[in-house]
Structure 1
Amino acid sequence: MKVDYVIKAMAELIGYDETVYVGLNSIPALLAAFLARDMMNKEIRIIGVAEADNPKTIQVSPSTGDPFFLDGAPVMITADSFDLAQKGELDVMFLGPAQIDQETNVNLTAIGDYRRPSVKLPGGAATAYLMPLANKLILWNLKHSKNTLVSRVDFVTGTAKYSKNKVFLVTNLAVMKFDREKGKWVVIAVPPWSSEQQIIQNTGFPVEIESLRIVTLYHDEMEYLDMLDPQNLRSALEF
């Protein structure tokens, strides 16, 4: 499945010996974290909204907040995770906004005028609090277009603009990093079906092409994802 390449690209951005936070309804982020730990042998600690501390294994369900995470794992309440962020000890945070702009602002609140939105989104929860504090942000969006990657978001739910942290963006067309010195997004990798022309045509702001390295997904990694997701819930995310 194409979404598996996005998951692999997200897993590649996770470093060794990092504490990784997975939010609500984030199946790609959840699978990326376990792929990084168990198949790419990165000694990471996985925490998140399910309030479990580094569970041994999982089976994907519709909600990444499902208490099944507690099976065989110590409890770690959300407040403790937020404390890690405040102390500068939260290494990686995943976030899947509906809109991302050229300055790292994200929108999970509303599309259109806030007072009379055309689409009301689920809201940002702790997005505004955590975005500047996590040492590395991995944003993801599976519908790379000028409607999702915009010059300016309709509503600023959160931003990393005033932080010094690392910010990455993974979509169905590209892997990008935000270069703070240049003030722009830079493409560093692509899935096998993407191209420079597709990326430029479908992005609502200028991007720089640093590399078109192809994301590689191996057979054993696909089998591992199938094992974690026996109901194939991630297929609903296909693009």
Structure 2
Amino acid sequence: MMTIAASRMLRGKRTCFVGIGLPSLAANLARATWAPEIVLVYESGTIGSKPPRPPLSIGDGVLAETADAVVSSAEIFNYWLQPGRIDVGFLGAAQLDRYANINTTVIGDYRRPKVRLPGAGGAPEIAASCGETVIVVRHSTRVFVDRLDFTTSVGHGDGPGARDRLGLRGAGPTAVITDLGILEPDPESRELTLTSVHPGVEAERVLEATGWPLKIAVHLEATAAPTETELAALRRLTE
């Protein structure tokens, strides 16, 4: 449900900068269903990749083998990403706060961490410069925390106006897709608000899985159930 809901976010989009893992699976599902013409870009330098299976990493050979073009990482960032030529970025997170700021660096104190995570990679630039970003992550209090242990990628900073003050080009996170529902930033406060729950999920369950008092939209929606077409496409990608 999470992957399918995330893939629907790419309807009408032309270009997507893709992170590895759940974001990549969702982006490739979108290419197989809602957005067949979308150009998927990976930070290793592949443009227009069409992998038949989820890539294991940005260095997976299938990305280059199925790409329309392969360029240097420097060109990807300097020419395509930073000038604002990418419509949407798909990202994951180890920790996420109420303003959709992301931690993928460390858990615990930076100098003496409990866990050292994969790190930033291209995520800070994706979060800064894509037209918008969509975050795909499983919902738990371990991930949805009141305060990040480290800020790797800026979402909406400390609230209204933060991105403008920092000079960030893109609109920032427009949706967070989880296995329980969909959260979107409030237009005024920029704080994440629960706007939709997936089939079979109650709002109370989402509140219990969030590390701060999560706000709920006045008109809470129910996410549309997966269609047979979506399920068949997802199975082909993961079989």
TM-score by length of structure 1 reads 0.84
The residue number in structure 1 matching 2:177 is 170
Equivalent residue letter for 1:108 = T
| 1:29-64: CA deviation from partner (whole Å, max 9, x where unpaired) | 222222223312453211113532213452234335
Q: Secondary structure at the match of 2:206?
A: helix
| Match for residue 191 of structure 1 among 178, 190, 198 | 198
Kindly tell me: are residues 130 and 39 of structure 1, through their superposed partners in 2, closer, same or farther at Cα, counting changes over 3 Å? closer
| 1:74-131: CA deviation from partner (whole Å, max 9, x where unpaired) | 2243323213221111111111111000122211111111111111111112322331
| Match for residue 235 of structure 2 among 197, 208, 226 | 226
8 Å contact from structure 2 (residues 84, 130) kept in 1 = yes
1-side partners of 2:59 and 2:195: how far apart? 31
2-side partners of 1:57 and 1:115: how far apart? 38
| Match for residue 46 of structure 2 among 52, 62, 67 | 52
| Match for residue 128 of structure 1 among 97, 114, 124 | 124
5+ residue gaps, structure 2, are: 164-169
The residue number in structure 1 matching 2:2 is 6
| 1:190-210: CA deviation from partner (whole Å, max 9, x where unpaired) | 221321101111111233322
| Match for residue 222 of structure 2 among 213, 221, 237 | 213
2-side partners of 1:98 and 1:175: how far apart? 17
2-side partners of 1:87 and 1:96: how far apart? 22
Deviating above 6 A after TM superposition, structure 1's stretches of 4 or more consecutive aligned residues are: none
Shift of 1:157: 1.0
| Match for residue 24 of structure 2 among 30, 35, 58 | 30
Work out the number of aligned pairs and report it: 223
The residue number in structure 2 matching 1:68 is 62
2-side partners of 1:9 and 1:41: how far apart? 13
Q: Give identity over the alignment, percent.
A: 29
| 1:165-202: CA deviation from partner (whole Å, max 9, x where unpaired) | 14121111121111241231122222213211011111
| Match for residue 87 of structure 1 among 83, 86, 100 | 83
1-side partners of 2:229 and 2:41: how far apart? 25
8 Å contact from structure 1 (residues 177, 187) kept in 2 = yes
Equivalent residue letter for 2:150 = F
TM-score by length of structure 2 reads 0.84
8 Å contact from structure 2 (residues 128, 172) kept in 1 = no
Equivalent residue letter for 1:125 = G
